[in-house]
Amino acid sequence: MQKKIVLTVLYFLTIFLSFSQQELKIEIVDADTKEPISFATALFKETSRGVIADYDGGIRIPFINIENTPDLIITALGYTDLEVSCKTLNINEINRIEMMPQAESLDVVILNVTKKDRQKAFNVNRLIKDNKKILGKKIVEKAINRITYNLDDKPHSIIGYYRDYQIVNDEYFNLIEGIVEQYDAGIKTNKITDVNNKNAIYSLKKNPEFKSSNRYAKAYDGESKYVQNADLLGFGGNELSILNVHNPIRNFNLNSFSYVYKFIENFIPNHEFAKEGFVFDEDNPIVNISFTTLTNQRKGVQQRIQGTTKAEKFKVSGIISISLRDYAIHGFSYTMFDYKQRNPLFTVKIEYKKMQDKMYLNYISFNNRFVVTDEFVFKEEKVTYDKENECFEVLFNNDVNNQKINKRNFKIRYKNKKVIIKSVEQMSSKKVKVFINDFDKSLSELYDDDMSEITFIIKNIEDVDGRDIYKSREVAAYQFREFFSQEIFKDKKIDANLKFTSKVEPLLYAPSNTLKNTKPYIVNTPLKNK
């Protein structure tokens, strides 16, 4: 199973409140490339509880007594399972833990299995060989058709860590995080609209240790904040509802995003597929099938409603990971790129894990690229005239790029008459003097700060940060919404004593509940706090 790592520790806070709490910090990386392993799962040994690493492979593990901290079983699709003792980790620094990629050679994997069970290995080998004859497209079709069998159709709930934030220039902004329980009445119900599908918040707040910006957090308006070269579909709902809408596996028969639309109807016709190889979840072979968009996509419901006559030329790259035993979908990654800008417009990453005989959401991460206009505009703050030296003094609001400034950058008229510019001299990082030829001494009538008769034009000047004068600079940013499961409860019906969130109002306005369980859940705040 594709292994991604996260480390975390369980403590019974109600028992140990008198002691100070510390935490372990962990970063999970690939043993070969040393790159972070995103979204690894770490289960506490001999329990069904755990946490999931973030995109950067980071985990925080709170603890009271390190000696009582259970070991972690770390897994990620494509990596060998790893058991880690928290007692061996350093509490004073970030612990880098390496996971080994699974061997690409099928023979090596089977050889290792045969040492334990030759018959099991033979069955796995035969299963892989039989499916080698089947096209990737056909395997995807079987997986989609079995969603209602592989996912739980009975009421259940998942408690996990939710967070919402923006990343601008590799910095986190407006981090909202907390513990949320999602009640699900079953795969045959509408995740968004069914009254029995509810969400309860146990903790949720904006983290004051991270930077804040109202500009990045504001709603899209098409001008000061917008998605470049794309239209936003009106899904409606609050942050968590928007995140849940972008799970095409759970919403297999509902309209979602381009070019998935209705997963059961449009995903296969709109994409072409290729098998990429196998990974293993214990003795369960999982095939990775890559996909991209076809040249001519079929239109989905939203396109038909909007009257779109031609599909936009966007490229998609993705992987869907499917078990060859029961055709359960274990992983789904979908990134859409803008052909013109060659930038990712949005990315959805989803993983499901098996618990007993059914598949349950392990994590979902959705991010979209947006553009905001810089609040700061480079311009002159003040222009005055120096009669004695026959020059204009221009004071800018930021340091000027002195390599790109000369007299051609300025045009001056006095009483609609052109003023001849002799030279330009930069006096300081923000001040420039523009010397003129005042042949008829007409400018001697000017007062130092009276510019009412002067037309002063500045063009083609940049500040040291590359901003063009008078122009608002656009900044690329990414909006993230993520949910990471920590514990799954089968056959769990709605607790009537809970206060549930609206599916429309912002989550920060939602009522909060108190956890009755003494076992705490982990708010896995990002390690990157710049």
Say if 492 falls within a structural domain: no
Claim to verify: residue 93 and residue 160 sit in the same structural domain:
no
Q: Where among 356, 373, 390 does a domain terminate?
A: 373
Q: Residue 481 pLDDT more than 60?
A: yes
Burial (CB count within 10 angstroms: exposed 0-12, middle 13-18, buried 19+), residue 202: middle
Bridge partners of residue 60, in order along the sequence: 25
Claim to verify: residue 363 and residue 235 sit in the same structural domain:
yes
Task: Please give the angle made by the CA atoms of 216, 173 and 25, to the nearest 5 degrees.
Answer: 160
Which segment, 16-30, 80-94, 228-242, is predicted with the most confidence on average?
A: 80-94
Say if 271 falls within a structural domain: yes
- Looking at residue 20, the DSSP 8-state letter turns out to be P
Average pLDDT over residues 448-461: 84
Structural domain of 29? 2-99
The whole-angstrom distance between residue 465's C-alpha and the CA centroid of its chain comes to 27
Q: What does the alpha-carbon distance between residue 488 and residue 227 come to, in Å, rounded to a whole number?
A: 35
Claim to verify: residue 173 and residue 193 sit in the same structural domain:
yes
Q: What does the alpha-carbon distance between residue 123 and residue 325 come to, in Å, rounded to a whole number?
A: 10
The rounded radius of gyration (Å) of the Cα atoms in the chain is 29
Claim to verify: residue 263 and residue 182 sit in the same structural domain:
yes
CATH of the domain at 42: 2.60.40.1120
Burial (CB count within 10 angstroms: exposed 0-12, middle 13-18, buried 19+), residue 52: buried
CA dihedral 184, 249, 142, 153 (to 10 degrees): 0
CB count in 10 Å sphere of residue 60: 20
pLDDT above 70 as % of the chain = 83
- Give tens-digit pLDDT for 131-172: 788 899 999 999 999 999 999 999 999 999 999 999 998 899
Banded pLDDT at 528 (limits 50, 70, 90): confident
Residues contacting residue 349 through CB under 8 Å, at least 6 positions apart? 38, 39, 332, 333, 334, 363, 364, 365, 366
Residue 452 has phi, psi (to 5 degrees) of -60, -30
Of 247, 241, 159, 158, which Cα lies nearest the Cα of 203? Answer: 159
Average pLDDT over residues 83-91: 92
Q: Which two tokens stand for residue 419?
A: 């003023």
Banded pLDDT at 341 (limits 50, 70, 90): low
Output the pTM of the full model. Answer: 0.79
Claim to verify: residue 260 and residue 213 sit in the same structural domain:
yes
Q: Which two tokens stand for residue 239?
A: 């942050």
Q: Where among 75, 99, 123 does a domain terminate?
A: 99
Peptide bond into 352 cis (omega under 30): no
Claim to verify: residue 259 and residue 311 sit in the same structural domain:
yes
Q: Which amino acid is at 203?
A: S
Say if 503 falls within a structural domain: no
- Give tens-digit pLDDT for 307-337: 444 555 578 999 999 999 999 999 999 999 8
Q: How far is CA 420 from CA 22, 387, 403, 432, in A?
A: 70, 15, 22, 17
Of 144, 26, 137, 135, which Cα lies nearest the Cα of 74? Answer: 26
CATH of the domain at 389: 2.60.40.1220
Of 26, 103, 48, 40, which Cα lies nearest the Cα of 76? Answer: 40
Claim to verify: residue 359 and residue 219 sit in the same structural domain:
yes
Task: Give the chain's domain count.
Answer: 4
Claim to verify: residue 343 and residue 429 sit in the same structural domain:
no
CB count in 10 Å sphere of residue 206: 15
Mark out the alpha helices in 74-135 (DSSP H runs): 106-114, 118-132
Q: Give the containing element (helix H, strand E) for 226.
A: strand 225-226
Claim to verify: residue 91 and residue 113 sit in the same structural domain:
no
The distance in angstroms from the start CA to the end CA of the chain is 33
Task: Compare 445 and 114 and report the one with higher pLDDT.
Answer: 445
Say if 109 falls within a structural domain: yes
Claim to verify: residue 62 and residue 111 sit in the same structural domain:
no
Say if 476 falls within a structural domain: no
- Looking at residue 68, the DSSP 8-state letter turns out to be G
Say if 530 falls within a structural domain: no
Claim to verify: residue 341 and residue 384 sit in the same structural domain:
no
Q: Where among 352, 373, 394 does a domain terminate?
A: 373
Of 496, 477, 495, 512, which Cα lies nearest the Cα of 162? Answer: 512
Q: Which amino acid is at 439?
A: F
Say if 513 falls within a structural domain: no
Q: Which two tokens stand for residue 33?
A: 């490339």
Which segment, 56-65, 149-158, 274-283, is predicted with the most confidence on average?
A: 149-158
Banded pLDDT at 234 (limits 50, 70, 90): low
Residue 516: predicted pLDDT: 77
Say if 519 falls within a structural domain: no
Residue 449: predicted pLDDT: 61
Residue 306: predicted pLDDT: 44
Q: Mapping DSSP to helix (H, G, I), strand (E, B) and coil, where does residue 522 land? A: coil
Q: What does the alpha-carbon distance between residue 44 and residue 29 come to, in Å, rounded to a whole number?
A: 19
Q: How far is CA 22 from CA 281, 341, 458, in A?
A: 33, 45, 57
Residue 225: predicted pLDDT: 45
Bridge partners of residue 96, in order along the sequence: 27
Residue 380 has phi, psi (to 5 degrees) of -80, 145
CB of 51 closer than 8 Å to CB of 35:
no
Claim to verify: residue 197 and residue 338 sit in the same structural domain:
yes
CB of 322 closer than 8 Å to CB of 352:
no
- Helix/strand/coil (H, E, C) string of 306-368? HCCCCCCCEEEEEEEEEECCCCCEEEEEEEEEECCCCCEEEEEEEEEEEECCEEEEEEEEEEE
Average pLDDT over residues 344-362: 95
Residue 18 has phi, psi (to 5 degrees) of -80, -10
